[in-house]
Structure 1
Amino acid sequence: MAKQLVAEIKVQVTGGQATPAPPVGTALGPHGVNIGQFVQQFNDQTREMAGTTLPVVISVFNDRSFTFVIKSPPAAVLLKQAAQVAKGASNPLKDKVGTVTQAQLKEIAQVKLADLNASNIDNAARIIAGTARSMGITVVD
């Protein structure tokens, strides 16, 4: 009998630092997945991205086996790293917390291109620039 997809779970986990504690344990526990096995496989695959928040899509099958796909880090996380700020502005219209250059936007767009709804780097950079503006980060040339 073929495996049937039972659930598709989306969580954000810090690269190389997954633990059975929430959010991983609470997301996988009800589906009967071996949490320790997921944590070990995830940490092995993301060891070089330690400290970066990564979205993960976990597919759980009827025999309690699973597969997972690691997506690129969220644009907000990459922008905070590029601008070297701890968090975005609470009021982005009035407060500006940092700046990024067009070159940095293109680098981030290159990383995010597969996960964005954009056909080329320039359009992806415009999407990332919109995220930067909503965080209170100024884009300079």
Structure 2
Amino acid sequence: MLIKIINKFKIQLTGQKATPNSFLGSILGPYGINIIKFCQEYNLLTKSFLNLQVPVIVIIYSDKSYKLKLKTPTLSSLINKYSTGINKKYLDKEGLYKIISIKQKDFPLLSFIKIKNHIYKSAQFLGVFCNI
């Protein structure tokens, strides 16, 4: 029997904090996906991304199975995590390089300097000062 893809969508959940709630129920329920099992699998996959917003692509198949493809955490949540100082308004070089090492997977063709500039502009937009 050929298994077809019924739907494919992208959602953002907090790493290790997925719970069976009405948001997930309204998305996964119509496809017959076990929400508790989905949350357990997502929380297991996001062990290293505690309290970060992690986008995930959910592919649902015709036999009511699914596949999760994790992306890297959102840039805004990484900037907020690695910000220091009073009111977390400063991003130091160490935090910047940690973010670059994580986000390099999203920008495989960009140079280190272009990724750094992208993160710098995003930090400015969030009101975080970055000394590069």
Provide the TM-score with structure 1 as the length reference: 0.80
Residue 105, structure 1, aligned to residue 96, structure 2: yes
Aligned position for 1:92: none
Identity of aligned residues (%): 25
- Contact 1:106–1:122 (CA<8 Å) still a contact in 2? no
Q: Identify if the C-alpha distance between structure 1 residues 24 and 7 changes in structure 2 by more than 3 Å, giving closer, same or farther.
A: same
Q: 2:130 aligns with which of 116, 121, 139?
A: 139
1:118 CA displacement: 4.4
TM-score normalized with structure 2 length: 0.85
Q: Any stretches of 5+ residues in structure 2 without a counterpart? A: none
Specify the code of the residue in structure 2 equivalent to 1:104.
G
Mapped to 1, the partners of 2:66 and 2:48 lie a distance apart of 23
Q: Out of 129-138 and 118-127, give the one that drifted further.
A: 118-127
Conserved? CA contact 2:52–2:74, under 8 Å: no
1:93 alignment partner in structure 2: none
> Given that residues 17 and 51 in structure 1 are in contact (C-alpha distance below 8 angstroms), is that contact kept between their aligned partners in structure 2?
yes
CA deviations over 1:21-65 (Å, ceiling 9, x no partner): 043222211222121221121122223432222111110011111
Task: Answer with 109-118 or 126-135: which moved more.
Answer: 109-118
The change in CA–CA distance for 1:131 and 1:117 in structure 2 (over 3 A counts) is farther
Contact 1:54 1:73 in 2 (8 A): yes
